[in-house]
Amino acid sequence: MDAGEFKNRTGEFALRVIRLVEALPKGRTGDVLGRQLIRCGTSVGANYRSACRAKSKADFLAKMAIVEEECDEAIYWIELMVQAGLIDERRVSELMKEADEILSMVVASIKTARARKKSAPHNGQQ
């Protein structure tokens, strides 16, 4: 999957998160948890786009670490919503699967970038 496809995928993830939050029951708990999920769920794609414009390998790794954290946090909030009885687990199973897949790809990308960083020549030497 190339960067453009992954940007689209994380954008679609954000839209699905928005639709989920809009479907939550109205009330204090739904509002608070929904706000948390909106923030991190939409941040996944936004921070990935930022990582694609990184100025260095270190910058890329730092920004991808944020993507990883935000995606993991989104999973947490969705799980909490299910546990709190705000949303049926079957309704979010595909979204959770997508979040897990995105998280796995981000972690793999970070590992690959770190491995390349370690094997890169230093001080202009080849």
Question: In terms of Cα–Cα distance, which of 91, 44, 48 is closest to 70?
Answer: 44
Q: Assess if residue 80 is contained within a domain.
A: yes
Amino acid at 60: F
* Distance (Å, whole) CA 44 – CA 52: 12
pLDDT at 126 (0 to 100): 40
pLDDT at 52 (0 to 100): 96
Q: Taking the model in full, what pTM does it have? A: 0.89
Question: In terms of Cα–Cα distance, which of 47, 86, 45, 83 is closest to 65?
Answer: 47
Query: Residue 28 is part of which domain span?
Result: 3-114
Q: Assess if residue 125 is contained within a domain.
A: no
pLDDT tens digits in sequence order for the chain, 126 residues long: 899 999 999 999 999 999 999 999 999 999 999 999 999 999 999 999 999 999 999 999 999 999 999 999 999 999 999 999 999 999 999 999 999 999 999 999 999 999 987 776 655 444
> What total of structural domains would you count in the chain?
1
* Distance (Å, whole) CA 39 – CA 46: 11
Q: Assess if residue 122 is contained within a domain.
A: no
CATH number at residue 108: 1.20.1440.60
Q: Assess if residue 33 is contained within a domain.
A: yes
